[in-house]
């Protein structure tokens, strides 16, 4: 469960006028720290407006609290590196992180008059 988040850096830039032609999102875990029952993930989040319209960049970290056994298992599978986090953990944590960051990026987009960077959630068959 995500128990804390902190954004350290926000940059938003509108490069030219006009409507956007789509979005390219990139969310990258840059550092993972494991301590007792917590995983602290540092990240870089980028929203690129296709066509050179603009860009939003954010950096920060989240704290994910779990039982110690789960943290130890994730640490072992990833060898302590953010780029090697296990797929099942990525599938769980990255959508939550994307939701948090998309919500925050809406405010940055508004300041520089870019469309809100919201992408509809994926719908899966139950």
Q: Convert the pLDDT of each residue in 7-32 to its tens digit.
A: 999 999 999 988 778 899 999 999 99
Structural domain boundaries of the chain? 2-111
What phi and psi, each to the nearest 5 degrees, are found at residue 76?
A: -65, -45
CB 113 within 8 A of CB 14: yes
**pLDDT value of residue 21:** 83
Residue 94, strand partner residues: none
Q: Which of 58, 55, 56, 66 is nearest to 6 (CA)?
A: 58
Q: Convert the pLDDT of each residue in 44-99 to its tens digit.
A: 999 999 999 999 999 999 999 999 999 999 999 998 888 899 999 999 998 888 88
Mean pLDDT value of segment 110-114: 94
Q: At what angle do helices 68-78 and 87-111 cross, to 10 degrees?
A: 90
* Rounded CA separation 39/110 (Å): 32
Mean of per-residue pLDDT scores for the chain: 91
């Amino acid at each position: 469960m995500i128990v804390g988040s902190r954004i350290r850096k926000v940059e938003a830039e509108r490069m030219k006028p006009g409507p956007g032609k789509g979005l390219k999102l990139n969310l990258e875990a840059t550092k993972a720290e494991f301590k007792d029952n917590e995983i602290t993930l540092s990240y870089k989040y980028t929203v690129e407006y296709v066509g050179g319209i603009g860009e939003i960049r954010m950096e920060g970290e989240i704290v994910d609290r779990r039982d110690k056994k789960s943290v130890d298992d994730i640490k072992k599978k990833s060898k302590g590196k953010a780029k090697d986090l296990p797929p099942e953990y990525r599938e769980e944590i990255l959508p939550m992180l994307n939701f948090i960051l998309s919500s925050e990026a809406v405010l940055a987009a508004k300041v520089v008059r870019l469309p809100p960077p919201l992408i509809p959630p994926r719908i899966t068959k139950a």
